Amino acid sequence: MPLALVDCTSFYCSCETMFRPGLWGKPVVVLSNNDGCVIARSPEAKALGVPMGAPEFQWRKRLRDWNVAVFSSNYELYGDMSARVMTVLRRFSTAMEAYSIDEAFLSLDGMTWAQLAACAREIRQTVRRWTGIPVGVGVGTTKLLAKLANRAAKQGDGVLVLDHDSPAGHDLINGWPTRELWGVAGRLAARLADLGILTAGSLRRASRSLIRQRFGVVGERLVLELNGVSCLELEEVEAPRQNLCGSRSFGRPVTELEELRQAVTVHVERAGEKLRGQGLAASAVCVFLLTNRHRPDLPQYNPQAGRELIVPTAFTPELMGECQRILSAIYRPGYRYVKAGVLCLGLVPVEEKQGSLFREVDPAQEEKQRRLMAAVDALNLHHGRNTVRMATAGFEQRWRMRQDRKSSCYTTCLAEVPVARVY
**At closest approach, how far in Å is the CB of 11 from Mg ion?**
5
| φ, ψ for residue 286, nearest 5 deg | -125, 150
Looking at the Cβ atoms of 5 and 68, the one nearer to Mg ion is 5
Given 76, 103, 273, 318, the catalytic residue: 103
**At closest approach, how far in Å is the CB of 42 from Mg ion?**
12
Looking at the Cβ atoms of 3 and 287, the one nearer to Mg ion is 3
Q: Which residues bind Mg ion (CB under 5 A)?
A: 7-8, 11, 102
**At closest approach, how far in Å is the CB of 408 from Mg ion?**
22
Cβ 197 vs Cβ 184: under 8 Å: no
C-alpha 196/C-alpha 206 separation (Å) is 10
Looking at the Cβ atoms of 7 and 225, the one nearer to Mg ion is 7
C-alpha 49/C-alpha 420 separation (Å) is 35
**At closest approach, how far in Å is the CB of 9 from Mg ion?**
6
The DSSP-derived string for 149-179 is: HHHHHTTTTSEEE--TTSHHHHHHHHTSBGG
| Strand, helix or coil for residue 265 | helix
Looking at the Cβ atoms of 7 and 273, the one nearer to Mg ion is 7
Residue (of 234, 330, 245) closest to 284 by Cα position:
245
**At closest approach, how far in Å is the CB of 287 from Mg ion?**
23
CA 182 from centroid of its chain's CA atoms: 16
What is the b/e burial string over 373-404, where b = at least 16 CB atoms within 10 angstroms of the residue's CB?
beebbeebeeeeeeeeeeeebebeeeeebebe
Q: How many CA atoms lie within 13 A of 394 on its CB side?
A: 1
Q: Is 103 a catalytic residue?
A: yes
Looking at the Cβ atoms of 44 and 102, the one nearer to Mg ion is 102
| Strand, helix or coil for residue 372 | helix
Residues contacting 286, CB < 8 A, separation 6+: 79, 83, 304, 305, 306, 307, 326, 342, 343, 345
Looking at the Cβ atoms of 7 and 269, the one nearer to Mg ion is 7
Q: 167-174 and 143-153 helices cross at what angle (nearest 10)?
A: 80
H helix runs in 195-332, sequence order: 200-205, 208-226, 257-277, 316-330
**At closest approach, how far in Å is the CB of 100 from Mg ion?**
8
Catalytic annotation, residues = 103
